[in-house]
Amino acid sequence: MTSPADQGHVAAAGDVATLDPDEARAPAGRAVPWRRIAVITALIVVAVVLAYVRSGSGVVVVQAVATGVLIGGVYGLIAMGLTLIFGVLDIVNFAHGSFLALALFLTFGLAQAGLHPYLALAVSVPAMFLLGVLVQRGILAGAMGKPLENQLLITLGISLIIENALLLFFGANPRSVPLPGDRGVPIFEAVANLSRILAFVGALLLAGLLYLLLQRTRLGTAIRAVAANDTGAQLVGIDTRVIYAVTFALGTACAGAAGTLVAPLVTIEPTTGALFNIVAFVVVVLGGMGNVVGALVGGLVIGLAEQLGGIYLPGQSPLLSVFIVFVLVLFLRPQGLFGRSA
Amino acid sequence: MTATSAPPAPETAAGRPLPRLPWNRHLIAIAVLAVLLVPLPLILPPAQASVAVRVLIFALMSIGWNMMSGFGGMFSFGHAAYFGIGAYASAWLLVEHRVSPWIGILAGMVVAAAFAALIGFLALRYKLRGAYFALATFAFAEMLRLWATNSDFVNRAVGYHVPLRPEASWWWLQFEPSSPNYFWVALALTVVALVVSVLYLRSRAGQFTKAARDDEDAAAAVGIPVMRYKLLTMALSAAITAVAGAFYVQYFLFIDPDLAFGSSVSIQAILPAVIGGVATVWGPVIGAVVMGPLNDVTATMLRNPPAGLEFLQGRSGLDVIVYGTLLIIIVLVLPKGIYGTIRQRWFRR
């Protein structure tokens, strides 16, 4: 896709895994933002301490932190896919959650057929990748470069179709995928299900793989080049159409993998995907649109916010605190935690 | 800058300005259509008449959305917030305080307009644009849904049932289920909304709003207080959609957080305008006429599925699949919508 001579040029475009074009134009060799990380860590510590003061129970807080971090890893994986699509294709993908729902039902079907839920990854990831290619080439390619609203409406249409096709064929009854040998694992004073821990570990592994793919392979370099400047990438011989399709497919594959990983944790309904979609948007904005590493960090932060929010606002849905964080971030730091102010 | 200077026409993809009708002709068309539609519920069988009422509710919601997102250029993905506020305000006043739905409609409009102005102020103050703006509106609608679901103040997830009255009453806006009065009320509300939007658009304020949509910096440079007119547009848009919500409660006699604030409600406000033609006076109405009956057709199909698909009997979701497909096709093939495309062809010389 790229000749060796282009590599140096492209590598300079973004040495951090940042896909946002504006970010990528920053001077090369930007150091790890230690100060930013310190501030975020401090804020989290304050939030945890306040939660302790509010609830007065250490166990409750430890449980919330453990649950939040574990699910946050999965949010991170989902959001990495979403932010990748945004960074490269400039599409706000409302269908992301519905791809996850599709993977949930796929996993459910395979588990019913007797397959171990985690082995379903071998099916759901390639299947979602393929579907991503088809959707991008078949539907979205016709709207590239059109106003943002058009793509938003198209992905909205796709999500309506997938979600309601699931409703039509499977009905609204909640389903579940039991994990063989699932049990509670003590973490300090708290307890976490083995399935939750495995989902976290799996999500981190896959996120790491995606990061390596983006940083260390020619394909990843090409993807980052297209994100930084698609005209420039085209000029050095990158087939942007292929990159668009592959990137979208990688994004949906992330959603597919996450769907399989969380299948043992959630009640499986056609609308389950929409919940994850909402959270993923929050995470993407928090991490900075197009910032892959930011998405992972944002996922952990939102996982914590959701669980700690349940302590701050008892009786309200944990999602409410996610939205409050979202709105605050939108207003106060729309460039995300790691973005530079405009 | 005077209102008499030619307004910048919305540009087509090719950069050629769209031709536009003089506003007076819109008003005449509205009047003619209204008169023609008055006998409709007397002709239609009752089942069809309820479809006609639904069409009008869709139209009303979408006229509101179109005001802000089409003419104002601020893409809202959270009009469920205003629909829900209208619905809940009138239901709450009626059930908890025995206040007439007519006053409830007005109250809903006021609260929705105030809420829209607040969101708008924050969004404009912090310069949210494009995807960020859409996501913020979405977040506010969802926050209202979550809050309503878990708050005793509005009866939690149970929502409200409108108490049935022994006899029909105009003051309480309640008639026989098959009464043509419902259609006439909805028609009157829709006509008023259309007239208000036409009058607003041809007014100074409306022209300023469109100028700000087409080029905010230029509009600000010639001295238009962009913020003020954007907020005004948002408030008006929210008030119109709130009317749809308030009427919805009185017609279907029931509301809960998902029916009021769910994201599908926001989508229902967007779809008619996109199908008919964004930023056109008639787009939402035409889109609503296309969308309204679809629901019925698919429901009939699912009641008696064709051979080979019997397992689909009693399932739901087909209507939304059709909406979604229609949405994608329209955006890809007719990005200006049905009315927008026809208008463009019509005036092509």
The residues pairing with A187 across neighbouring beta strands, listed in sequence order, are: A190
The mean pLDDT value for B330-340 works out to: 89
**Per-residue pLDDT tens over the stretch A221-268:** 999 999 888 889 989 989 989 999 999 999 999 999 999 999 998 889
**Residue B155 within a domain:** yes
For residues B58 and B287, give the distance between their C-alpha atoms in angstroms, rounded to a whole number: 9
Rg (CA), chain A: 20
Q: How many Cβ pairs within 8 Å bridge chains A and B? A: 121
- Distance, in angstroms, between A297 CA and closest chain B CA? 20
Window 273-332 of B: residues touching A by CB (8 A cutoff) are 274, 312, 315-318, 320-321, 323-328, 331-332
Per-residue pLDDT, A216:
92
Tokens for A194? 């083995």
> Which residue in chain B has the smallest CA separation from A157?
B324
**Residue B237 within a domain:** yes
Window 111-150 of B: residues touching A by CB (8 A cutoff) are 122, 126-128, 130-132, 134-136, 139-140, 142-143, 146-147, 149-150
A3: confidence class by pLDDT, cuts 50, 70, 90: very low
Which of A22, A134, A289, A331 to substitute to test the interface with B, most B CBs within 10 Å? A331
Q: Do B317 and A139 touch (CB under 8 A)?
A: no
Selecting from B126, B134, B150 the residue whose C-beta is nearest the C-beta of A152 gives: B134
Per-residue pLDDT, A19:
56
| Alpha-carbon torsion angle B167, B173, B177, B183, nearest 10 | 140
Per-residue pLDDT, B303:
78
**Tally of domains within chain B:** 1
On the question of pLDDT at A10 being above 50, the answer is: no
A182: confidence class by pLDDT, cuts 50, 70, 90: confident
**CATH 1.10.3470 applies to domain A61-332:** yes
Per-residue pLDDT, A336:
74
Q: How many helices (H) and strands (E) does chain B have?
A: 15, 2
Provide residues of A within 8 Å CB-CB of chain B.
92, 139, 142-143, 146, 148-150, 152-154, 156-161, 163-169, 171-172, 270, 274, 278, 281, 285, 289, 315-317, 319-320, 323-324, 326-327, 330-332, 334
Q: Do B332 and A142 touch (CB under 8 A)?
A: yes
**Per-residue pLDDT tens over the stretch A55-90:** 777 788 888 889 899 999 999 999 999 999 988 888
> Which residue in chain B has the smallest CA separation from A327?
B136
Q: Do A152 and B77 touch (CB under 8 A)?
A: yes
Chain A contact for B32, CB < 8 A?
no
On the question of pLDDT at B78 being above 70, the answer is: yes
Q: How many helices (H) and strands (E) does chain A have?
A: 14, 2
Q: What is the domain range of residue B252? A: 46-261
**Which residues in chain A touch residue B130, judged by CB atoms under 8 angstroms apart?**
148
Tokens for A52? 């302790």
Selecting from A148, A150, A160 the residue whose C-beta is nearest the C-beta of B323 gives: A160
**Which residues in chain B touch residue A281, judged by CB atoms under 8 angstroms apart?**
135
Q: For residue A184, what is the enclosing H or E element? A: strand A184-187
**Per-residue pLDDT tens over the stretch B150-178:** 888 888 888 899 888 888 888 888 888 88
Domain ranges of chain A: 61-332
**Which residues in chain A touch residue B75, judged by CB atoms under 8 angstroms apart?**
148-149, 152
Tokens for B296? 């019925």
Q: What percent of chain A has pLDDT over 90?
A: 35
Q: What percent of chain B has pLDDT over 70?
A: 93
Amino acid, single-letter form, for residue B203:
S
Q: Which of B31, B23, B20 is nearest to B199 (CA)?
A: B23
Q: What percent of chain B has pLDDT over 90?
A: 41
> Which residue in chain B has the smallest CA separation from A279?
B139
Question: Mean pLDDT over all residues of chain B?
Answer: 86
Q: Which of B300, B329, B299, B297 is nearest to B317 (CA)?
A: B299
**Which residues in chain A touch residue B316, judged by CB atoms under 8 angstroms apart?**
167-168, 172
In terms of average pLDDT, the best of A31-45, A48-62, B149-163, B251-265 is: B251-265
B271: confidence class by pLDDT, cuts 50, 70, 90: very high
Query: Which residues are within 8 A (CB) of A101 and not within 5 positions of it... i.e. 6 or more apart?
Result: A162, A163, A166, A259, A270, A271, A272, A273, A274
B24: confidence class by pLDDT, cuts 50, 70, 90: confident
On the question of pLDDT at B13 being above 70, the answer is: no
On the question of pLDDT at A25 being above 70, the answer is: no
> Which residue in chain B has the smallest CA separation from A154?
B328
What SS3 state is found at A187? strand
Q: Do B331 and A143 touch (CB under 8 A)?
A: yes
**Which residues in chain A touch residue B121, judged by CB atoms under 8 angstroms apart?**
none
For residues A31 and A229, give the distance between their C-alpha atoms in angstroms, rounded to a whole number: 22
The label of the residue with tokens 């700690």 reads A308
On the question of pLDDT at B16 being above 70, the answer is: no
Phi, psi of A191 (to 5 degrees): -125, 135
The mean pLDDT value for A275-298 works out to: 87
On the question of pLDDT at B239 being above 90, the answer is: yes
Per-residue pLDDT, A340:
52
On the question of pLDDT at A17 being above 60, the answer is: no
- Distance, in angstroms, between B182 CA and closest chain A CA? 30
For residues B221 and B3, give the distance between their C-alpha atoms in angstroms, rounded to a whole number: 16
Tokens for A130? 């393929």
On the question of pLDDT at B70 being above 50, the answer is: yes
Per-residue pLDDT, B263:
85
CA distances A5 to A8, A9, A240, A242, B312, Å, are 7, 8, 18, 20, 58
On the question of pLDDT at A20 being above 60, the answer is: no
Q: Do A164 and B324 touch (CB under 8 A)?
A: yes
Contact assessment for residue A114 and residue A172, using Cβ atoms and an 8 Å cutoff: no
Q: Do A285 and B135 touch (CB under 8 A)?
A: yes
**Per-residue pLDDT tens over the stretch B190-201:** 999 999 999 998
**Residue B281 within a domain:** no
**Per-residue pLDDT tens over the stretch B208-217:** 998 988 888 8
Q: Do A317 and B263 touch (CB under 8 A)?
A: no
Per-residue pLDDT, B68:
93
**Per-residue pLDDT tens over the stretch B40-53:** 888 888 778 889 99
The mean pLDDT value for A105-120 works out to: 90
For residues B169 and B190, give the distance between their C-alpha atoms in angstroms, rounded to a whole number: 21
Per-residue pLDDT, A286:
86
> Which residue in chain B has the smallest CA separation from A160?
B324
Complex ipTM, two decimals? 0.82
Chain A contact for B75, CB < 8 A?
yes
A329: confidence class by pLDDT, cuts 50, 70, 90: confident
Tokens for A169? 């064929």
**Per-residue pLDDT tens over the stretch A120-175:** 999 999 999 999 999 999 988 888 777 778 888 899 999 999 999 999 888 888 89
**pTM: predicted TM-score of the whole model, two decimal places:** 0.85
Q: Do B324 and A157 touch (CB under 8 A)?
A: yes
**Residue B234 within a domain:** yes
Per-residue pLDDT, A87:
87
For residues A10 and A54, give the distance between their C-alpha atoms in angstroms, rounded to a whole number: 50
**Per-residue pLDDT tens over the stretch B118-130:** 999 998 888 887 7
Question: Mean pLDDT over all residues of chain A?
Answer: 83
Amino acid, single-letter form, for residue B60:
L
Per-residue pLDDT, B12:
43
